[in-house]
Amino acid sequence: MNEMNFTHKDIVVALDIGTTKVCAIAGFRNEIGKIEILGMGKVESAGVCRGVVSNINKTVEAIEEAIRMAQRKLNFDIKVVFVGIAGQHIKSLQHRGLLTRESNLDEIKRDDIERLILDMHRLVLPPGDKIIHVIPQEFTVDNEQGILDPIGMSGVRLEANFHIITGQITASQNINRCIERIGMKVGDMTLEPIASAAAVLAEEEKEAGIALVDMGGGTTDITIFYEGVIRHTAVIPLGGNIITSDVKEGCAVTSQQAEGLKREYGSALADEVFDNRVISIRGLKGHAPREISEKNLARIIQARVEEIFDYVVNEIKKSGLENKLIGGIMITGGGSLLQDIEKLVALHTGLHTKIGFPNEKLAAGYSEDFVSPIFSTGIGLLIKGIESMELDPEYYYKKLAEAGIKDAIAEIDVEVTAGAEKEVAAVSNAKWYEKLYRGTLKWFEEEPDREF
């Protein structure tokens, strides 16, 4: 594909609005199914607190700059972005649905599954909350349990367990408001830990059982997989920024100096610090320099990291899968770059631990800096955006048309007419619940909860 011939319908843009950074990534899926990156923009975030937009103007400025950097190699302006949502307002719950069918002679169809999932969207939630994802886990057909895809089976009684993720309506509205202020549209909104999982986890790891811990600046997100399905999600309102704050108070330095100490000399495991060098820190104007030993710095950091992973262990226990995670724990996000954190987590939790890099689905040839765990969420959002566009191209082109792309309506007609058979085949091979989620999301976007 020639770089100069790229159009809106070829490229997907992901936007990670985090506590410490705003990152925009543009890319596409190549002919062998790998993700190619065309452009990336990363700027400091000043308007987000613990994963939630707290200052619209500052966030808009950061998004504009990140988008401007990402589209330098593109011959058009970005109009539609796929964004993530996170924050301590995110909650999850388990619910079971039941559908009694009229006849056991007719095969179970996708419509039956849709009815079950739509029932989940009718759950009564606390005021101000909305459903973000409804994830089917397993089905039961006439008391036959453990069925992952019941379509085509016969049965009267269809039951299902669902993992339901909710969040505050205002949080998603503020994200939409930021995007719309710069003349763009939100193509889709994905929970950030789910996006990170798409970037760093292999299918065999999801099948074996693994806990993905995404350590961001403001929050630590947990996603637990078992038998290929998401079983538990949680958001801990502690991240890298709280470690920096501890260093600032413990060493009596400025925030900027504390961040530098953490990155340059910090270790998550004090026992791994053997030299115990003395670090000299420049004092404020007119003040003498301050000194701290490397081991004491590590002790400050270790105490907070252990606290964070106490919460992680608690969430793993709540999932009921503490003895079934063959894959152990995978850490990603900026916090995973902390020296010796892999060793500390393994010792503290008793589970095999490794660092997750977002190169699972990327094409070869990218530098180590580019596939850093810092970009796991952004690359995961790009992957989810490409999957979303491929599953429902008509919806994507409509978003382009809404954003002011004049030829997008024509593209809808051409794509749907010329590629109808191809699209039907793709949808039939795709996971049915992803297609269903797209339709359900569109329905809720068209009919907002006015009482909120």
32 with 181, same domain?
A: yes
* pLDDT value, residue 436: 52
Distance CA 61, CA 71 (A): 16
> Tokens 């997008």 belong to which residue?
408
**Is 23 a member of any domain?**
yes
Distance CA 356, CA 201 (A): 8
**Is 452 a member of any domain?**
no
273 with 413, same domain?
A: no
* pLDDT value, residue 385: 92
Least Cα distance to 265 among 284, 237, 304, 291 occurs for 291
Average pLDDT, the chain: 85
Least Cα distance to 25 among 70, 63, 68, 69 occurs for 70
Across 35-52, average pLDDT: 89
64 with 139, same domain?
A: no
**Is 211 a member of any domain?**
yes
**Is 153 a member of any domain?**
yes
Exposure b/e, 284-300, CB count within 10 A at least 16 = b: eeeeeeeebebbbbbbb
Read off the CATH number of the domain in which 317 is found.
3.30.420.40
Distance CA 307, CA 301 (A): 10
* pLDDT value, residue 50: 83
**Is 56 a member of any domain?**
yes
436 with 296, same domain?
A: no
Q: Which strands sit side by side in the sheet containing 35-44, from one edge to the other?
A: 35-44, 21-29, 12-17, 80-85, 185-191
> Tokens 């989810």 belong to which residue?
384
Read off the CATH number of the domain in which 104 is found.
3.30.1490.110
Helix (H) or strand (E) run with residue 246 in it: helix 240-251
Q: Quick one: how far is CA 352 from the chain centroid? A: 23
Domain final position from 332, 355, 378: 355
Distance CA 57, CA 37 (A): 28
Across 268-297, average pLDDT: 86
Domain count, the chain: 3
Domain final position from 148, 168, 188: 168
* pLDDT value, residue 395: 72
Give the up-direction half-sphere exposure of residue 404: CA atoms within 13 A in the CB hemisphere. 9
350 with 374, same domain?
A: no
Across 311-318, average pLDDT: 95
Predicted confidence band of residue 425 (pLDDT cuts 50, 70, 90): very low
Q: What percent of the chain has pLDDT over 90?
A: 54
Helix (H) or strand (E) run with residue 61 in it: helix 56-70
Give Rg (Cα) of the chain. 23
317 with 187, same domain?
A: no
Task: Give the residue numbers spanning the domain of 237.
Answer: 203-355
Q: pLDDT tens-digit profile of 47-90?
A: 898 888 999 999 999 999 999 999 887 877 888 999 999 888 99
**Is 229 a member of any domain?**
yes
Domain final position from 308, 326, 355: 355
365 with 344, same domain?
A: no
Of the ranges 28-32, 174-178, 201-205, which one carries the lowest mean pLDDT score?
28-32
371 with 275, same domain?
A: no
Question: Which residues is 17 bridged to in the sheet?
Answer: 22
Lookup: tokens for 316 = 């793993």
Exposure b/e, 251-280, CB count within 10 A at least 16 = b: bebeeebbbbbbeebbbbbbeebeeeeebe
Least Cα distance to 399 among 84, 129, 186 occurs for 186
Q: pLDDT tens-digit profile of 262-282?
A: 999 999 999 998 877 898 888
Q: Quick one: how far is CA 343 from the chain centroid? A: 25
244 with 344, same domain?
A: yes
The C-alpha torsion from 15 through 16 and 17 to 21, rounded to 10°, is -120
**Is 451 a member of any domain?**
no
Cα torsion 405, 406, 410, 412: sign: positive
Given a cut of 90, is residue 411 above it in pLDDT?
A: no
154 with 183, same domain?
A: no
331 with 434, same domain?
A: no
65 with 178, same domain?
A: yes
**Is 285 a member of any domain?**
yes
113: left (phi over 0), alpha (psi -120 to 50) or beta: alpha
Across 150-165, average pLDDT: 91
